[in-house]
Structure 1
Amino acid sequence: MEASEMQQHFEGGRASDKESKRGGWTTFPFVIGSMMALSIAVGGWASNLIVFLITEFHVKSISATKISNVVLACSSLFPIAGAIIADSFFGSFPVVRIFAFVSLLAMIMFTLIATIHSFTPPRCTIGSSTCESPSNLQYAVLYMTLTLASMGSGGTRFTIATMGAEQFDKPKDQAAFFSRYYLTLYVANVISFTAIIYVQDNVGWGLGFGICAIANAIGLAALVLGKRFYRRVKPKGSPFKSIARVVVAAIRKRKTSPTFGSHEDYYFETAGNYMLKYLEDRVPTKRSFRFLNRAALKTESDRQSDGSYARSWRLCTMEEVEDLKNVMTIIPVWSTGILLSTSIGVSNSLTILQALTMDRHLGPNFKIPAASFLVFNLLATAISIFVVDCLILPTWQNLTHTPITPLRRIGIGHFINIIALVGSALIETRRLHVAQTHELIEGSIVPMSASWLVLPLVVMGIGEGFHFPGTVALYYQEFPKALKSTSTAMVSLLIGIGLYLSTIVTELIDRTTRWLPDNINDGRLDCVFWTLVVIATVNFGYFLICARFFKYKNVEDH
């Protein structure tokens, strides 16, 4: 071995040893501290956005809910883009660092908007017809800030979870990290939904957003300080590329017929005996979506000059074909979560509008901010997840000797969500009755305690405690190995689509009925909630059909 080669060998060994010493629980304080601070910053603007638009920009209440749902939907869709960028090009740490800085810019702009009066219209009484609308420049600054905030939130929230899991080798340590990650996420949201919102509503928007900016800066600093301890996982390329190649190859070979002989002769497979296992154990999959099998057909045009075959946009492995089929079998069940997210999005937005018109006093001197009522939903979800995992699931296992499958857990969540919507409709019927009995003028507070809103929020949170973990478990269990990191982001995707649909549903109801006037005391929000009950019930029926025909592929793992 020459001297130069020996030097490269030993340098490579030292680099490998150095890299192997990175990661582990040493990185945990930096990752979880950064995630905590960034989540507080995100919750500080996202949780109270409707009230901010109504009070500071004089946006009509229903329009404010539409804008809020669109912005939150974008925040839920950006994680998919962030995951693709991280997996394909840069890795997790650079992506989180860049988008954390983008989030910081958004927090600074929020603070400037709230403190510099030229960025907002002149102040006036909420609900007054004489309120001046924002100018085009003010709208432009607002929308630019919301865009940056959505990008910053979406680019950090799920990517930092992947980055944290990459620091550990053992699945047990990864599971422990995820448990702490979700616990931290809920704690951060509770702080945002209580302390930050209270400051914004009772002290000043400028100070509230300033606290968010400071929290964001602390999160970015904690992330960067841990740089020398992080384990870097090199990008492996986007898994979506192989899916796209299967679709393209199947279409290009749509008129190709297989030659005679054994399956091993005309299907391309690089994984040794995988084809034999495929034929013996995966026959039901082989018969489904048979059109896609053409993507793995070997033809003379696919043969290279040395007689071998290689993957291309004309030829894929059978394993890649099977991965796409697995994803396609999950899509129907996945789609049932979209309308569930839609009903939750509409319900949460309308709950804030209800709270604004009701008595929110807790004692003679303390008034609960309207958006803070959603914290009861968060607390109920967190507590129900703990109770389900630590009490209900073990008890069910001991009594029946069978586990509660992910599909059953999702179905229970669907059913509980319907009960919560029924409760919201009944409470709104009571609120309207009280408002009409007292013949209130526009802007007056209905003499009914807003604490009534807590009950459906808690019930809905319990439903999410069943549905959300069951959904994550199903996707992570059934998605192909190449798409494991993407499987958890699929939850964010359906939430984003659901929030977009919630805006469409609200717009459709607003245009075709008189149920959603700017003064909701003159409207029929109860009819909106009953409409959501019908949508959720039909969607539950659709879920039962999808669950009936769904077949677990990874039964041994399940």
Structure 2
Amino acid sequence: MDSSPKPQYLEDQEAQTKTGGKRGGWITLPFIVATMLGLGLAVNGTTSNMLVYLLKEYHVDGVKAAQIANVVRGSLNLVPIAGAVLSDSYLGCFPVILAGAAINVLAFVLFTLTAALPSLRPPHCTLSSVECQQGSPGQLFVLYAAICLLAIGAGGTRFNIATMGADQFSSTRDKDSFFNWYLVFLYASFMLGDTAIVYIQDSVSWAVGFGVCLATTAFGTIMLLLGVCYYRMPATKASPYTELARVIVAAVRKGSIKVGGAQGSVQYNVGAGAVVDPSGDGAPSKSLRFLNRAAMITTSHKSSVSGDASAGAWRLCTVQQVEDLKAVVSVFPLWSSGILLFMSIGVMIGMIVLQALAMDRSVGPHFSIPAGSVGVSCRVSFILATLVLDRVIFPLWRKITGGTPPTPLQRVGIGHVLNVGALVAAALVERRRLAQPGVPMSVMWLLFPMGIAGVGEALHFPGNMAFYYQEFPKTLRSLATAMAPMLVALGFFSSTMFMDVVTRVTVWLPENIDHGRLDNVYWTLAAVGTFNFAYFLACDRRYKYHNRAAM
């Protein structure tokens, strides 16, 4: 009898047969896409217009409102990491997504109440002045409770919908195809949120706008439930994060233990009780050598190596576990270079809304572009750039280089450069706007820097995700896909701190930006971005790939 291991797709099919027939496949796509569209449209439409809601309905100062809005955006990208860990290690994707969707429904119930009930917001103020009454502690508590529920709900859905969708397919080709469709529909939901939801909130009423968000969220939740009989739901396995912790604990515990055997004959545990010499292929790599102690076989458990459990999982790890942790740790210098990149994006997104409010937003005699919708130009630019890159630029690159595609880090580096270019363009536009006091400048000028930022994002954001996915161990793929969104979260949090420092130290960001020097803020960020790009290049030069074949 053939004792070779079965391919993964056969194991998946057998597991599905045992649980009651064949599940998964493309039949699940409509349910997953509808869920994502319903939730994404509501969440993104609300966050895009959060700054305007705080300004107009709660009379929060402009810069402070931008900071709050960036904290919300950061939380929406940070909290989902907890949801990904929870689903990977304990519950599975579907229960976490369902719980997150239900929490989002509750969040939009609260948002709708804040807009519909006058007692839950300050009295209406027609003119922006010091006399405008801000929200009471009770009113702000309800608003912030809705925001917290929105972030918690997104924590259960934002990453896990993509993971559950990929779980429906066995072949790599189908999974790649699903991710392409996922990104298309994801950004389509962002665009609908930035335009339709924002327009309803600004031009009809906030209550109706939040009511529509509530309806689309409920629709997405219902579609998720309707597809339950078709979903493939793999059982959760042991937490890979625990294995990483075991390596650290074992290395620390054995920091002062004398290694068994003579000098030069240190032995390592390669799994299944095997023992190899460090000069052999099974020895740990030479990088981050202090972690190698976790796999060293000491005198205390050399006699019990054949039973790893008796040796203690928190005292003796395998060489593969050590290498998995090294793979994670080694990407952090490159990963850290993305924080300042997304910090500048966070500042630009918040400030461009304030610029739009001070500019001429009319398009013809009967229509005015909502300030919160200006950011949709970045979404459009992202989608168009992605199509051009995938269909034109990258194939041309392969022809020129003899079939070699651009590496993820090359795409990230070009994205860094374009982002600096977007900041320079934003500074020039703001300088022109300030040079014409009393003459409203067309909001269309803002489309230029936002378009450049969108092209840059089409390069650095997918490039980051591809890099982490390729370099991380297979057991940590969910963490890998969360690394890039984690940069978004930290970037938006950092943008809040950056604006706070600028407000305290300079006079560039007063409450009325017409009296400030926002262009100097953009020039400063462009300088920081240039320095950060140099740091990225230094990290790239020193990095040693763990999976060069996948590049």
TM norm structure 2: 0.93
- Asked if the contact 2:353–2:372 (Cα under 8 Å) also holds between the matched residues in 1, the reply is yes
- Aligned-pair identity in percent equals 45
Give how far 1:552 is off: 1.6
Q: String of CA shifts for 1:156-197, please: whole Å, max 9, x gaps.
A: 011111011111111111111111111000111111111111
* Alignment-derived partner of residue 351 in structure 2: 350
Alignment of 1:196-275 (within 5 A): 196-260=197-261, 266-270=267-271
Change (3 A) 1:282 1:525: farther
Give how far 1:302 is off: 3.2
**AA aligned opposite 1:105:** L
Q: String of CA shifts for 1:65-95, please: whole Å, max 9, x gaps.
A: 1111111111111111001110111100000
* Alignment-derived partner of residue 516 in structure 2: 523
Change (3 A) 1:489 1:275: farther
Alignment of 1:72-151 (within 5 A): 72-151=73-152
* Alignment-derived partner of residue 7 in structure 1: none
Is 1:378 matched up with 2:379? yes
Alignment of 1:248-397 (within 5 A): 248-260=249-261, 266-270=267-271, 286-302=285-301, 308-310=307-309, 312-397=313-398
Change (3 A) 1:304 1:139: farther
- In structure 2, list runs of 5 or more residues that go unmatched: 1-13
Distance 1:192 1:176 in 2: 25
Give how far 1:414 is off: 0.1
Is 1:431 matched up with 2:433? yes
**AA aligned opposite 1:498:** G
Change (3 A) 1:18 1:245: closer
Distance 2:101 2:489 in 1: 20
- Asked if the contact 1:425–1:530 (Cα under 8 Å) also holds between the matched residues in 2, the reply is yes
- Asked if the contact 1:55–1:126 (Cα under 8 Å) also holds between the matched residues in 2, the reply is no
Q: String of CA shifts for 1:96-126, please: whole Å, max 9, x gaps.
A: 0001000010011111110100000000124
Distance 1:282 1:68 in 2: 50
Change (3 A) 1:271 1:554: farther
Distance 2:195 2:280 in 1: 57
Change (3 A) 1:274 1:456: farther
Give how far 1:481 is off: 1.1
Change (3 A) 1:188 1:307: closer
Change (3 A) 1:106 1:273: same
* Alignment-derived partner of residue 403 in structure 1: 405
Alignment of 1:182-193 (within 5 A): 182-193=183-194
Q: String of CA shifts for 1:116-169, please: whole Å, max 9, x gaps.
A: 000000001242221011101001111111000111123201111101111111
- Asked if the contact 1:472–1:487 (Cα under 8 Å) also holds between the matched residues in 2, the reply is yes
1:422 to 400, 421, 424: 424
Give how far 1:557 is off: 2.1
Change (3 A) 1:253 1:379: same
Change (3 A) 1:111 1:273: same
SS at match of 1:176: helix
Q: String of CA shifts for 1:285-305, please: whole Å, max 9, x gaps.
A: 721110000011112433576
- Asked if the contact 1:44–1:209 (Cα under 8 Å) also holds between the matched residues in 2, the reply is no
- Asked if the contact 1:44–1:197 (Cα under 8 Å) also holds between the matched residues in 2, the reply is yes
Distance 1:171 1:454 in 2: 38
Distance 2:421 2:305 in 1: 65
* Alignment-derived partner of residue 53 in structure 2: 52
**AA aligned opposite 2:286:** R
- Asked if the contact 2:269–2:275 (Cα under 8 Å) also holds between the matched residues in 1, the reply is no
Change (3 A) 1:302 1:273: closer
Q: String of CA shifts for 1:502-542, please: whole Å, max 9, x gaps.
A: 10001111111111111111111011111111111111010
SS at match of 1:476: helix
Change (3 A) 1:15 1:43: closer
2:471 to 474, 478, 502: 478
- Asked if the contact 1:296–1:321 (Cα under 8 Å) also holds between the matched residues in 2, the reply is yes
- Asked if the contact 1:424–1:453 (Cα under 8 Å) also holds between the matched residues in 2, the reply is yes
Distance 1:36 1:302 in 2: 54
Is 1:488 matched up with 2:481? yes
Give how far 1:24 is off: 1.1
Give how far 1:492 is off: 1.2
- Asked if the contact 1:87–1:238 (Cα under 8 Å) also holds between the matched residues in 2, the reply is yes
* Alignment-derived partner of residue 7 in structure 2: none
Distance 1:306 1:37 in 2: 53
Distance 2:173 2:265 in 1: 38
Alignment of 1:147-186 (within 5 A): 147-186=148-187
- Asked if the contact 1:275–1:318 (Cα under 8 Å) also holds between the matched residues in 2, the reply is no
Give how far 1:238 is off: 2.4
Distance 2:151 2:16 in 1: 38
Q: String of CA shifts for 1:430-461, please: whole Å, max 9, x gaps.
A: 111112xx3xxxxxxx5211110000000010
Give how far 1:261 is off: 6.1
- Asked if the contact 1:346–1:502 (Cα under 8 Å) also holds between the matched residues in 2, the reply is yes
Distance 1:262 1:190 in 2: 64
Give how far 1:14 is off: 10
Q: String of CA shifts for 1:260-311, please: whole Å, max 9, x gaps.
A: 36989621121688968x966688x721110000011112433576963335
Give how far 1:363 is off: 0.6
TM norm structure 1: 0.92
Give how far 1:418 is off: 0.4
Is 1:26 matched up with 2:27? yes
Distance 2:397 2:272 in 1: 40
Change (3 A) 1:148 1:268: same
Distance 1:207 1:497 in 2: 32
Change (3 A) 1:126 1:92: farther
Tell me how large the CA RMSD over aligned residues is: 2.0
Give how far 1:258 is off: 2.6
- Asked if the contact 2:121–2:135 (Cα under 8 Å) also holds between the matched residues in 1, the reply is yes
**AA aligned opposite 1:430:** R
Q: String of CA shifts for 1:366-413, please: whole Å, max 9, x gaps.
A: 000001010000110111111111111110110121321111110000
SS at match of 1:125: coil
- Asked if the contact 2:288–2:326 (Cα under 8 Å) also holds between the matched residues in 1, the reply is yes
Distance 1:395 1:413 in 2: 18
Stretch deviating more after TM superposition (151-160 or 199-208): 151-160
- Asked if the contact 1:58–1:126 (Cα under 8 Å) also holds between the matched residues in 2, the reply is no
**AA aligned opposite 2:298:** T
SS at match of 1:286: coil
**AA aligned opposite 1:452:** W
**AA aligned opposite 2:424:** V
1:553 to 527, 546, 551: 546
* Alignment-derived partner of residue 450 in structure 2: 457
Distance 2:499 2:282 in 1: 45
